[in-house]
Amino acid sequence: MANLDSIFHGLADPTRRAVIAQLARGPAAVSELAAPHRMALPSFLKHLKVLEAGGWIESGKAGRIRTCRLRPEAAKAAEDWLGRQRSLWEARLDRLDSFLETLNDIGETDDA
Amino acid sequence: MANLDSIFHGLADPTRRAVIAQLARGPAAVSELAAPHRMALPSFLKHLKVLEAGGWIESGKAGRIRTCRLRPEAAKAAEDWLGRQRSLWEARLDRLDSFLETLNDIGETDDA
């Protein structure tokens, strides 16, 4: 399993995010993945290597065609991490709400 | 609003993720954020700058104390992007399921 550093580094570039979005629709040959990008093939292949290091994609060769597919584990790890932070954040807002309600109740009692 | 490149770049480092996790529990002074990290302050401040550029944090100064707080918009943008890819991926798996069921139905008809 790739670590979170390389998983998130994989997402920090528009070409790499476009490759992930394309592969989410199904496996594709490297040439199909490269086609939408105005980029020399060696530069494009570097992006694929970053995605492979981040655990986002895997590839296999049949004859002269290399085909890539998405590995959903990387997305799951990224979403899990973000979800954990959101839980902490929302728990904090709930505590803040309770605190403000308590202040409000005290205020109303004072007014009565 | 920061772009997705800088939002995800913000997450591609363990110190920066630790800062986000700490701030998800509530605002904190720069000194409190720096304390858990074995790092010279200038290096730590660079990480805060990356998080600020990624729209993850904002800070304000009261006297000599600079306090940072989390901005949930960056997390939302990151989760939204990941969620969109997951929808594409799951829609594809559903289509694949239907296709396999169709194949299965044809197989059963042939056997009868």
> What pLDDT, in 10s, does the model give residues B58-74?
999 999 999 999 998 99
Candidates B8, B84, B89; nearest CB to A72: B89
CB-based contact A5 B21, cutoff 8 Å: no
Domains of chain A, first to last: 4-72 (1.10.10.10)
Residue for token digits 């997705």? B4
What is the value of pTM for the model shown? 0.86
Is A81 within 8 Å of chain B by CB?
yes
B49: exposed, middle or buried (Cβ count in 10 Å: 0-12, 13-18, 19+): exposed
The complex's ipTM? 0.86
Report the Cα–Cα distance between both ends of chain A, in Å, rounded: 61
Q: Which residue of B has its CA nearest to A24?
A: B89
Alpha-carbon dihedral of residues B94, B95, B96, B99, nearest 10 degrees?
120
Could you give the CA distance from residue B24 to residue A87 in angstroms, rounded to a whole number? 9
Q: What is the mean pLDDT of each run of 10 residues along chain B (112 residues)?
A: 90 97 95 96 97 96 94 93 92 82 78 56
A60 has a chain B CB within 8 A of its CB: no
* Distance in Å, alpha carbon of B107 to nearest chain A alpha carbon: 25
Chain B contact set for A17 (CB, 8 A)? 4, 81
**B108: which 2 tokens?**
């059963």
